[in-house]
Structure 1
Amino acid sequence: MSTDQSAIPAEYSIVVDGLTKTYGDFKALDRVSFEVQPGEIVGFLGPNGAGKSTTMKILTCFMAATEGTAKVAGYDVHAESAEVRKRVGYLPENVPLYDEMLVWDYLKFIAEVRGVAKPAREERIEEVIERTGLHNVVHKEISELSKGYRQRVGLAQAIIHKPEVLILDEPTTGLDPNQIIEIRDVISEIGEEKTVIFSTHILQEIAAVCDRIVIINRGQLVADGTLDALQDAVGADGLEDVFRHYTAGETEEGRSAIS
């Protein structure tokens, strides 16, 4: 039996400590630190260019940090990236799909790549099709799908291997209001048993789904707490006011509300 301490379940599903990413003289991330507990749904907010996607790419092992450390499901994203990849599901903002494949064939391919056991593979594909509402398009080529359905396929591939941690970058992009509600319900359902961190520009989605909110601005963490706590800290009325307060250059004041 392995005695690798990194494989022992940790108190947190995600641990980010002093994460920094530089490109020459530009700091995309500047000593960002936060933790996410198992079963927690965290909304990750910030203006365009704040460093959200950079953080998510580091957590999913698509990019290396310049400084600092990060662990996902108890494994270091740099030293143990293969273990992290097994345990994380990732939906990037622009999900890469194979347009020439049928939806069913694509999900079957992803299930194989992700190591879903062959006897359970077809049942698992049916489960994710049910969860993401893909019944009407399973036998269509991905090239024929609308933006909304492509997002659903992207979400399906992210959860097909039952990951411990789900990381979603703009999961509701291109969806109509009904589809947004459906995906919101899927995220809430997954969050009952998994850890979810996701970013979106639709603030209502964060307010409706998330247990906690993390806000970064200009590469720095400026707020971390529940919506109620952040509203109380700055006397705001609603998430829109909170977001504007913490992304208007008031980073030092914002830090005082970090829980």
Structure 2
Amino acid sequence: MTEILRYAAFTSTPAGGNPAGVVLDARELSDADMLAIAAELGYSETAFLHPTGDRQYRIQYFSPLAEVAFCGHATIAASVALGERIGPGTVNLTTQAGPVPVEIAVGSTGGIIAILTSPPSSTRPASEEEVRPVLDALGWSADDVDTAYPAHVANAGNDHLVLAAASRDRLADLDYDFDALGKIMTERGWTTVHLFWAESPSVFHARDPFPPGGVVEDPATGAAAAAFTGYLRALGRLADDTVLTLHQGVDMGRPSLLTCTTIPGDSRVKVSGTAVPID
């Protein structure tokens, strides 16, 4: 019988963070089986690991509606679950988006910390044709956008539209057209729309609508955080020694904390966080 674990990632309490399903040995499951499990759990993603060697795994991610190439929070959840069973050290995950090594360590309070290295990041300016219908679906006007941060399509395993809110209040007031935004995102191949507000040059608040996965909003999105970090670096707003802090999930009652750092001379991004079992 398949053992299905439930973890909340990027949090130290089960009431916070982003819930993820984790199956540590999915070698006997078909894609249809995995999709059915993800749909029954109803979390934004469930991670399925296929052991291939010593601390080596092929990993697949499924939302309730489809397979996803890469998912940060489910990677953190799965890695913490592994760390609790096999101990600290590096595990090497093979995703559809490429290799993702994860450092597993014991934190100062005794809990497990997972630090993933994302697939290579890239970013490009979003066109007016791409941005305008998204603003319409969000119910945002041009004045609701912070032009200091240009809209981009950023990637670190998946494409995300990155869009800056002009104020914290604008970010907090999220009431969008689910079907309209979902249609746009599916046509463009975007996993989430990464909405953010800059509290400071290194502290940001974010929200990530995820209608293509059948989820109104993701409480913590590690893949989007990695893509966003790459975006900031490409704009020249983030030095290699800067630690980026992202607060997500606050407005939906599941506060999450994501920490990102760049790698000198490398387009990949390190994303770190904790995870705890959900009873």
Same fold (TM over 0.5): no
Structure with the higher helix share, 1 or 2: 1
Q: Which has the larger radius of gyration?
A: 1
Q: TM-score, normalised by structure 1?
A: 0.29
Structure with the higher strand share, 1 or 2: 2
